[in-house]
Amino acid sequence: MIWSNWKLRWMFQFGFLCAMSLGLASSVSGSLSFEIHHRFSEQVKTVLGGHGLPEMGSLDYYKALVHRDRGRQLTSNNNNQTTISFAQGNSTEEISFLHYANVTIGTPAQWFLVALDTGSDLFWLPCNCNSTCVRSMETDQGERIKLNIYNPSKSKSSSKVTCNSTLCALRNRCISPVSDCPYRIRYLSPGSKSTGVLVEDVIHMSTEEGEARDARITFGCSESQLGLFKEVAVNGIMGLAIADIAVPNMLVKAGVASDSFSMCFGPNGKGTISFGDKGSSDQLETPLSGTISPMFYDVSITKFKVGKVTVDTEFTATFDSGTAVTWLIEPYYTALTTNFHLSVPDRRLSKSVDSPFEFCYIITSTFVGLSLDIHMINVCS
């Protein structure tokens, strides 16, 4: 998927380094079918051996895939776009329903495992905080990770942002134009907020070839994190919305990336993020509507299909990587859930106060599930 300040693009790229027929099958009618596997897949490694090939899901695995895709694009359409990623790589990891990336900041460089949020604009790191700072987190695999705390006084490249900065939104709370610029950002979860002051420092980026592309950015030095941040370990949040203070726009202003970025989410929780990625000429696109807010990635939903039932709709939804589940307003929620319920043959359970979901069932072994398709306005590239 490609996020751009003008369009939200859906990118489907299927790149095969080697198309192999592993397991030739014949049907009753005499037609032939093939199983096609990627050169780096476990099936191919079993046949050819895995020496020198990257492990599936590893950073080297995604680097190899992206490098191959870029080579095909350069050959086919002479597209000389340059994409950049964080210095530690462009891989992302889902932990407790949020997507994280390893970001390095400051001099000397220090890493932070930050959550990626397209539903907010400010990038902030835990900083100069005591009891409110989360200092470790546990992954879904049970691994305990020690987290870093940003300290402006220990970074040679750090500088303060004063109240006369164009990025200072709360200058009316400043004592003087040269005071430290304060910030406060609230989130949808009750009582969840981050407060502190704005600072400026270097974010370390690199191209796919490993060339350094560092940039100075403004972000929040979070002295207090409350609400949900007390329960969920967050080592900072990177706001990716459409705003001058959001990281994508600051990278554009610094001249290190073009005005777009991509986020891809895999079924196993792993994914990638790349800045300056404009996608391919044959991908599908849907325009951003800007109906809810010009600052966020709003798309128009034209219809959805539950099983074999199609329901025409006309509403706008915000694409938010920081939200774990999809939320629908009425009457579309009732239309979807009613058709879903009518299509499920199994017994529905009574709603539990402990469950956030209204429709839960005792599934039998014969039920194979339902398909749910959401349609948006398609625009040819």
- Active site amino acids: 117, 320
SS (H, E, C) the chain: CEEECCEEEECCCCCCCCCCECCCEECCCCCEECCECCCCCHHHHHHHCCCCCCCCCCHHHHHHHHHHHHHHHHHHHCCCCCCEEECCCCEEEEECCEEEEEEEECCCCEEEEEEEECCCCCCEEEECCCCCCCCEEECCCCCEEECCCECHHHCCCCEECECCCCCCCCHHHCCCCCCECEEEEECCCCCCEEEEEEEEEEECEEECCCCECCEEEEEEEEEEEEHHHHCCCCCCEEECCCCCCCHHHHHHHCCCCCCEEEEEECCCCEEEEEECCCCCCCCEEEECCCCCCCCCCEEEEEEEEECCEEEEEEEEEECCCCCCCCCCCCCHHHHHHHHHHHHCCCEECCCCCCCCCCCCEECCCCCCCCCEEEEECCEEC
Distance CA 226, CA 230 (A): 6
What pairs with residue 238 in β-bridges? 116
Cβ partners under 8 Å of residue 130, min gap 6? none
Judge whether 272 and 262 are in contact, CB under 8 Å.
Answer: yes
Cβ partners under 8 Å of residue 237, min gap 6? 114, 115, 117, 120, 122, 123, 124, 194, 322
